[in-house]
């Protein structure tokens, strides 16, 4: 896949001191990417993983990453849009 079709971001989690880097296709939905990140951080169980950007805005899980304003190099915080992460 062409590099320009991907977004590489750093994800943090409130339950972890480490960060993880992910590269996703720009059209991937926020919710799908957040679910992958939650799994990578070992978060399991009920809840709806999502992302919050550097401006403390929770991103719409239904939008593609690029449409939600995610840009290459962004730092996103893993959150639970239903509570629990």
- Residue 2 confidence (pLDDT) above 60: no
**pLDDT number for residue 80:** 86
Q: Is residue 85 part of a domain?
A: no
pTM, entire model: 0.89
Average pLDDT, the chain: 91
Q: Is residue 21 part of a domain?
A: yes
How many separate domains does the chain show?
A: 1
- Residue 76 confidence (pLDDT) above 70: yes
Cα–Cα nearest to 73, from 8, 14, 12, 19: 8
What is the domain extent for residue 39? 3-80
Q: Grade residue 77 by pLDDT with cuts at 50, 70 and 90.
A: very high
Q: What is the pLDDT of residues 34-49, one digit of tens each?
A: 999 999 999 877 789 9
Which whole number is the average pLDDT over 13-20? 91
- Residue 84 confidence (pLDDT) above 70: no
CATH number at residue 39: 3.10.20.90
Q: Is residue 44 part of a domain?
A: yes
DSSP H or E stretch at residue 30: helix 30-40
Cα–Cα nearest to 70, from 58, 53, 48, 57: 53
């Amino acid at each position: 896949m062409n590099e320009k079709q991907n977004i590489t971001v750093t994800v943090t989690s409130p339950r972890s001191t480490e960060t993880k880097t992910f590269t996703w296709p720009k059209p991937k939905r926020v919710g799908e990417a957040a679910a992958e990140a939650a799994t990578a951080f070992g978060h399991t169980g009920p809840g709806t993983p999502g992302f919050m950007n550097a401006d403390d805005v929770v991103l719409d899980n239904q939008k593609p990453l690029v449409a939600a304003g995610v840009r290459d190099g962004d730092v996103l915080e893993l959150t639970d849009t239903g509570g629990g992460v």
